Amino acid sequence: MENTAKKPCVVLGVTGGIAAYKACELLRLLQKRGIDVFVVMTKNACRFVAPLTFETLSGHPVATDTFERPATWEVEHIALAKRADLFVIAPATANVLGKLACGIADDMLTTTAMATRAPLLLAPAMNTGMWESAAVQQNVQTLRARGAHIVGPASGHLACGDSGAGKLEDVEVIAARAQALLSPKRDMEGLRVLVTAGPSREMIDPVRYLTNRSSGKMGYAVARAAQRRGAQVTLLSGPAALTPPADVTLVPFTTTQELLKQATALAPQMDVVVQAAAPADYRAEEVAKSKIKKRGGEALTLRLVENPDVAAAIGAGKRPGQVLVGFAAETDDVLTNAQAKLARKRLDLIVANDVTQPGAGFDVDTNIVTLITEADTRSLPLMSKDEAAERILDRAMALREERARKA
Ligand code: CTP
């Protein structure tokens, strides 16, 4: 007889979307990876796939409604919550994301999700308009900031006839992510990591400023990933409409000069510095004390002076063994420009992306990056910023090891 006692346990929550049928395949893939799967379904999910299907595939009873079996319901969701090493919700509808973000627990799935202390992996699937709606985006951000992991959605042709983001991520990708979460890397334990993120703001007058397009999402994803992997993280953040991850030290900055001051003070104590911030290269030579008024059609000339290059300053003070990572968001000659920056700023790794490509620009949750070191250039496919953050840290850690071997 097979011994299931030591198998890691995934509680798979299935909600009511057309992609619910794909959860059957996901369950199979998880089992193939040696994982024991228990299924919880919402009422609407049962309209798409019969609980019997999941019951037969999983070899366990399927939990569907807290009040259906009054004798056991009270303990059932708690028992499942405790049993879970990981809670996966696939597909996760807009409705369930909203409930989780707001703390609503009104059925078996949401009560179990609320009670569990296991990590939460959400695979959203819905119509593009719904996915892009402010409410869903805000809920996803809230859940992410609380530590939930989001996989997908992918883009493509949707069941409703639309094309765009909202497809359930490939089940192989979800299964791989689940397995990675069950055996998380803790390879950055004890390391001190500085991450810079977000734009700077350079005042022109009391009501106007110059800035760069940057949401801060990529930097925040790196900070979250490093913290998860055991690092002690300081996040030096420009004004960003994002909730900072729990357990990182947040140091705010507004101008590039402030960033320079803070970053150069913090960098010497750091093992790894990841500079995802987008500091403005120029600032107004003089900041007007009063609001600049219109001049009846006459052109306005602003004199700008160059800001310091923060990455170059940190590069100039680089300690042996320290790994410095920079970014290069480019529109033309991406690789040539990035390679030049790698050398000029004495970086060990530069993450280049062509911001003109769909899925790689600003404000989105995905990126298409190329990791460039002195030795090689590795292009990665479109992936979530969370996934890209992991790959960037993998490369930075490999560089650290190479250094240690050579030393
Ligand atoms: N950077 C910096 N200080 C600046 C400008 C950029 O530290 N004043 C850092 C960014 O955080 C990023 C890297 O340098 O890691 C590349 O940023 P980018 O704006 O692409 O480079 P620039 O040197 O400003 O080059 P250019 O604007 O000419 O493309």
Q: What is the CATH number of the domain that holds 204?
A: 3.40.50.10300
Whether residue 149 is found in the same domain as residue 210:
no
**Residue that terminates a domain, selected from 125, 159, 182:** 182
Whether residue 213 is found in the same domain as residue 341:
yes
**Residue that terminates a domain, selected from 182, 210, 232:** 182
281 Cβ closer than 6 Å to some ligand 1 atom: yes
Q: Is residue 289 one of the residues assigned to a domain?
A: no
349 Cβ closer than 6 Å to some ligand 1 atom: no
326 Cβ closer than 6 Å to some ligand 1 atom: yes
Q: Is 147 exposed, middle or buried (0-12, 13-18, 19+ CB in 10 A)?
A: middle
Whether residue 136 is found in the same domain as residue 223:
no
Q: In this predicted structure, what is the pLDDT of residue 3? A: 42
Which residues, including other chains, have CB under 8 Å from residue 300's CB and lie 6 or more apart?
292
- Tokens of residue 364, six digits: 């989105």
Number of domains into which the chain is organized? 2
Spatial distance between the Cα atoms of 177 and 170, rounded to a whole number of angstroms: 11
The yes-or-no answer on residue 102 being catalytic is no
Which residues, including other chains, have CB under 8 Å from residue 380's CB and lie 6 or more apart?
368, 369, 370, 371, 388, 391
CATH number at residue 124: 3.40.50.1950
Q: Is residue 288 one of the residues assigned to a domain?
A: no
Q: In this predicted structure, what is the pLDDT of residue 275? A: 98
C-alpha of residue 309 to centroid of ligand 1, in Å? 7
Do residues 152 and 168 touch, judged by C-beta distance below 8 A?
yes
Whether residue 157 is found in the same domain as residue 237:
no
Whether residue 166 is found in the same domain as residue 205:
no
Q: Is residue 4 one of the residues assigned to a domain?
A: no
Q: Is residue 3 one of the residues assigned to a domain?
A: no
Do residues 325 and 274 touch, judged by C-beta distance below 8 A?
yes
For the whole model, what pTM was predicted? 0.74
C-alpha of residue 316 to centroid of ligand 1, in Å? 15
| Catalytically annotated residue among 9, 24, 102, 160 | 160
Q: Is residue 296 one of the residues assigned to a domain?
A: no
Q: In this predicted structure, what is the pLDDT of residue 366? A: 80
307 Cβ closer than 6 Å to some ligand 1 atom: yes
Whether residue 306 is found in the same domain as residue 353:
yes
Spatial distance between the Cα atoms of 48 and 53, rounded to a whole number of angstroms: 11
Give every residue of the chain whose pLDDT is below 70, as ranges.
1-5, 66-76
- What is the DSSP annotation of 190-201? T-EEEEEESB-E
Whether residue 150 is found in the same domain as residue 269:
no
Q: Can you say whether the dihedral through the CA atoms of 121, 124, 130, 131 is positive or negative?
A: positive
Q: In this predicted structure, what is the pLDDT of residue 1? A: 41
C-alpha of residue 119 to centroid of ligand 1, in Å? 36
Whether residue 322 is found in the same domain as residue 388:
yes
C-alpha of residue 261 to centroid of ligand 1, in Å? 16
Whether residue 122 is found in the same domain as residue 211:
no
274 Cβ closer than 6 Å to some ligand 1 atom: no
Q: Which domain holds residue 107?
A: 9-182
Whether residue 132 is found in the same domain as residue 48:
yes
